[in-house]
Chain A
């Protein structure tokens, strides 16, 4: 299924987003290359979730542009990405049917979709619960199912918006392991978090967002060793509330 042409790099220029009079993102520009996970961090209200939704195409920018690497119209860009939400949205169906749903939407036959869905479930360790009603799963299992569902689409880019915000430490660890596995397989991870520990564990690159502006984009090691801006230093010291 994976098309030869990559949709990366992702080039973002002068991105602005306003909701009414409130400016949520202001003049954000960066480039995302293929490679290790990019973690978007920053205090609450920095605009992290909105940024992800803009990149994924769920919101339309007020100004600026989002340019995928693939030549326009050549590669179905939307089909090459997937997104995970803070609260997993599960259909009122079985675990397997949930994982197969987007594959069927994408035009796969029933059998093929089921087979790929089962692979996804195996990846997150839910293959034993395939026939269970999805909405009877625990919170951690639900988020893992959402991960399996996204992974089954074999996206080139996977957006994750605070996927562990509502999970306990064990479930958080399980999700992080799956994300790391996907990253190691070559899926580009773009993830927001307010959990610095999580960012340190997963990030290859950090984008630091503050009050709607992108203040830093740096390799994770460099960022955590010595952030360039005063805001980032304050954030790392825990002085900026989130």
Chain B
């Protein structure tokens, strides 16, 4: 109990003093995870929409694979990206290992399957409703994809938030490809892991509370946006 109280006090202190080191870590967390979500969305959402409308041999296998990839352990994703980006690996000359860009890539790889699988599920219901009408308008599956993405935008926002939550919370992948370098690739989760290993449990917990507050704030912002927009577009 003592530790919990200390953690809350420490968290408040960090917020109140706007500790520059902590602020930097927080901003990097946001920057990396939001960029990763955007990148993953660029691939994952259209893929999900296409899987919702397209019928082709092997579709079931693709869906099963995608669902399985939702459980991809972050460490494994991190390791794959590490081997790709390592100077001894195929993308080594880019010099991206141990940079925020590498962390963005790893998180994007981690959450793209989640975005694809969840958006497929969300948009399939919408497609069932729209399919006949869109075909009557002469819209084939390819043309239906942007329509579904736009009309499913509010449900997809929830999908994106799920992806963001996963990205912001994971530590395994960013630790491996980012290296937890102070002032450069240290994000909230790796900082929490570091403080835990230094035995400063109250500080680790305080950082954890701040991370949760940030994720909560992003969710609230998105929800508010959704409500405001839904009021005008139904």
Q: Give A residues with C-beta under 8 Å from B.
A: 56, 58, 78-79, 82-83, 85, 89, 91-94, 101-102, 105-106, 132-136
Contacts and interface: CB of A to CB of B under 8 A. Distances in A.
A27 B175 CA distance: 70
Given A56-B136, A89-B132, 11 more contacts: A58-B132, A85-B133, A91-B147, A92-B151, A93-B151, A93-B233, A101-B147, A102-B137, A105-B137, A133-B232, A135-B234
B225 to A, nearest CB: 16
Contact of A92 (B136, B143, B234): B234
17 contacts: A58-B135, A58-B136, A85-B132, A89-B132, A89-B133, A91-B147, A91-B151, A92-B152, A93-B150, A93-B151, A93-B234, A101-B147, A102-B137, A105-B139, A106-B138, A132-B234, A133-B232
A89 B134 CA distance: 9
- Chain B interface bracket (under 10, 10 to 19, 20 to 34, 35 or more): 10 to 19
Contacts of A91: 130, 147, 151
Interface string B196-234: 000000000000000000000000000000000000111
Nearest to B233: A133
A79 B151 contact: no
Contacts of B132: 58, 85, 89
Interface string B80-92: 0000000000000
B234 A136 contact: yes
Nearest to A82: B136
Given A58-B132, A89-B130, A89-B133, A79 B138 contact: yes
A105 B138 contact: yes
Contacts of A85: 132-133
A59 to B, nearest CB: 10
B19 interface: no
Contacts of B150: 93
Contacts of A101: 137, 147
Contacts of B137: 101-102, 105
Interface in B119-144: 129-130, 132-133, 135-139, 143
Contacts of A136: 234
Nearest to B130: A89
Contacts of A106: 138
Contacts of B136: 56, 58, 82-83
A105 B133 contact: no
A101 B136 CA distance: 12
Contacts of A134: 234
A166 to B, nearest CB: 15
Contacts of B133: 85, 89
A89 B143 CA distance: 17
Contact of A94 (B130, B143, B154, B233): B233
Contact of A105 (B143, B153, B232, B234): B143
B222 to A, nearest CB: 18
Contacts of A56: 136
A134 B232 CA distance: 10
A78 B233 contact: no
Contacts of A135: 234
A100 to B, nearest CB: 12
Nearest to B132: A58
B228 to A, nearest CB: 13
Nearest to A56: B136
Contacts of B232: 133
